[in-house]
């Protein structure tokens, strides 16, 4: 998930990165759920991704760690 998110983000494919986040959000435990809005407009997606990048990466990292421990 991290690789897919980073790749889409680094290539400027913010809408694709948003879709990755929506898919990932379904898999996250309730306490790690991300508050996501519809991100169909590329400018809105870019703004959302850039403003929340550290929180998004934290949620991905936490999820991966939980998977490794279970």
pLDDT, tens digit (0-9, with 9 covering 90-100), for 2-48: 777 777 777 777 777 777 777 777 777 777 666 666 566 777 777 87
Mean of pLDDT values over 40-63: 78
Report the alpha-carbon distance of residue 26 to residue 18 in Å, rounded. Answer: 13
Residue 54 clears pLDDT 80, i.e. is over it:
yes
Q: Which two tokens stand for residue 51?
A: 């403003």
pTM: 0.58
Residue 58 clears pLDDT 80, i.e. is over it:
yes
Q: Cβ neighbours of residue 1 under 8 Å, at least 6 residues apart?
A: 20, 24, 60, 63, 64
pLDDT at 46: 78
Report the alpha-carbon distance of residue 70 to residue 56 in Å, rounded. Answer: 22
């Amino acid at each position: 998930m991290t690789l897919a998110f980073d790749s889409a983000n680094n290539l400027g494919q913010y809408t694709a990165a948003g879709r990755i986040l929506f898919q990932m959000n379904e898999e996250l435990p309730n306490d790690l759920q991300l508050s996501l809005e519809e991100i169909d407009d590329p400018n809105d997606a870019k703004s959302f991704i850039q403003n929340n990048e550290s929180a998004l990466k934290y949620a991905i990292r936490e999820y991966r760690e939980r998977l490794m421990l279970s």
